[in-house]
Structure 1
Amino acid sequence: MFKTIVTLFRGAAAEAEDNLVDRNAVRILDQQIRDARAGLEQGRGALAVAIAQDKAEARRLGEVRRRIADLNDRTIEALRGGRDDLAGEAAGEIANLENDAATIAAAQATFAEEAGRLRTKLAAAERRFLEIERGRRITAAAETVNKLKSGFAAAAPGTALADAEKTLARLRHRQAHQDDVEVELEALDAEARSAATAEKLEAAGFGPTTRTTAEDVLARLQARAAQAA
């Protein structure tokens, strides 16, 4: 039982760690990229040192060989001049210089080999680094799109748009009703003005009468009375 509980806690811890890494994956990747960039800079520095040492040893080797060639010529001239003592002394110095040249040549070969090895490793590392940076840019773009999509979904635009359309429809309906009322009011005003003008003309005796007068009623009743008699 205890072993099962320990396993459960280890599983929960591993899951929490995975979740933490997932939530901060971009931040972790950025730091790893910075570390890799620093490593590349150190690699470039080491390569520069190896190349500089190789060139320095090459210069030293060239200088020693020049001195050996010069001493060889002078020693030959001493032998021809019968100065075996000087020639023997020069031969000893030439031997020392040749030993130095061999040592320098070995050192130069080491630095050249190291420079070549570092150059190969650095080139491969830079290719991998560029690929990682490219992937980081793609990932960053994808994260931005996901955030925009999440925000778009969280804002529930479908519901908001539907509500806005309903509100707009109500406003348009109310506006149309107001427009209809204004039109009817204007029509009533025009009709009232026309009726008032017609009444004035009718009162002045122009045109047929449209209102029943007391005289009209009395005349009608007299005619009915006469007809009845």
Structure 2
Amino acid sequence: MNILTKLITALRGVGNEAGEAIIDSQGIRIMEQEIRDARESLDYAKENLTEVLAEQMAAKREVKRLDQDIAEHEDYATQALDKNDEALALEISGKIAELTNQHEAQSAMLENYTAQISSLKQTIAQTDRNIQAIERELAIVKTTDSVQKANAAIAAKFSGTDSALRSATESLERIKAKQQKRNDRMQAAFDLQQEEQGGDLQSKLQQAGIVTADASADSILAKLKAKRSS
């Protein structure tokens, strides 16, 4: 029984590891989908906020209308009292009481809308900031993932004795060796030609001061000055 329990636990562990491996391999796609879902929910919340704002505007208009009606009927009641018509003034006062009750109900509703709107705006703004922060983090994760994949591809492609990079490096070294050998041959041919034409001896005679170098503008000008002074 103890062995069976351990076996089940081991299988559960393997299942969890496999599930985590799948989630990790699809982590970026899952996160992108979750961000899209969050954006859709945020858009829906904004639509609801728009509806609440419309209800608030309607409540404001109703409160304003009731204020005007109450003021108007208070004026009517005053005029009735001025005419000593208390019965009419009492009837008008009843209407004022009805309007006042409506005004209180609408005012309470308006306060409720105002509180809800303030709360919704704060929640929406905070949610939007959270989503933007997650999007920035996701961009960094995606960039890091791309770089790591590129590095892994390079490491896999250019590692080992038969790698393309090693082959390319060896080819480059062979090309450089051939170029150096070609330069050596060209220099050797040039030196040989100089020796055949007595160039090497001429150079040694010039260095010893036995013969002069080829004519130059400075040497010719010096000779002209010497001839003129003599």
Q: Spell out, residue by residue over 1:161-204, the C-alpha distance to the aligned partner (whole angstroms, 9 max, x if none).
A: 43234334545667857x96xx99xxxxxxxxxxxxxxxxxxxx
d(CA) in 2 for partners of 1:136, 1:50: 33
Deviations 1:75-96 (A, max 9, x none): 1011111222321221111111
Q: Deviations over 1:53-103 (max 9, x none)?
A: 112101100101111001101110111112223212211111110000011
Alignment match of 1:37 (pick from 27, 34, 39): 39
For the pair shown, the structure with the greater C-alpha radius of gyration is: 1
Coordinate RMSD, CA, aligned: 2.6
Cα distance in 1, alignment partners of residues 51 and 57 from structure 2: 10
- Which residue of structure 1 aligns with residue 129 of structure 2? 127
Paired position in structure 1 for 2:12: 10
Task: Provide the residue aligned with 1:155 in structure 2.
Answer: 157
Which amino acid in structure 1 is aligned with residue 167 of structure 2? D
Aligned counterpart, 1:115: 117
- Aligned partner of 2:107 in structure 1 is 105
State the shift of 1:118 in Å. 1.1
* Residue 51 of structure 1: aligned partner: 53
Provide the TM-score with structure 2 as the length reference: 0.71
For residues 2 and 166 of structure 1, the distance between their equivalents in structure 2, rounded to whole angstroms, comes to 59
CA distance in 1, matches of 2:92, 2:111: 28
Distance verdict in 2 for CA 1:37–1:70, change over 3 Å:
same
Match among 21, 24, 30 for residue 22 of structure 1: 24
C-alpha distance after superposition, 1:107-131 (max 9, x if no partner): 1111111111111211221121111
Q: Separation in 1 of the partners of 2:136 and 2:119?
A: 26
Contact kept, 8 Å, 2:158 with 2:166, in 1: the verdict is no
Q: Relative to 1, partners in 2 of residues 1:117 and 1:170: Cα closer, same or farther, differing over 3 Å?
A: closer
Q: Flag structure 1 segments of 5+ consecutive residues without an equivalent.
A: 185-229
Q: 1:133 to 1:173 in 2, by over 3 A?
A: closer
C-alpha change, 1:122 and 1:171, in structure 2 (3 Å) is closer
1:54 is matched by which residue type in structure 2? Answer: Q
Q: TM-score, normalised by structure 1?
A: 0.72
Q: The residue matched to 1:53 in structure 2 has which SS?
A: helix
Q: Match for residue 137 of structure 1?
A: 139
Q: Which structure carries more relative contact order (alpha carbon 8 Å, separation 6+)?
A: 1
* Distance in 2 separating the partners of 1:4 and 1:161: 49
Q: 1 CA distance for matches of 2:58 and 2:171?
A: 84
Question: Structure 1 counterpart of 2:115, which letter?
Answer: E
Distance 1:166 1:108 in 2: 82
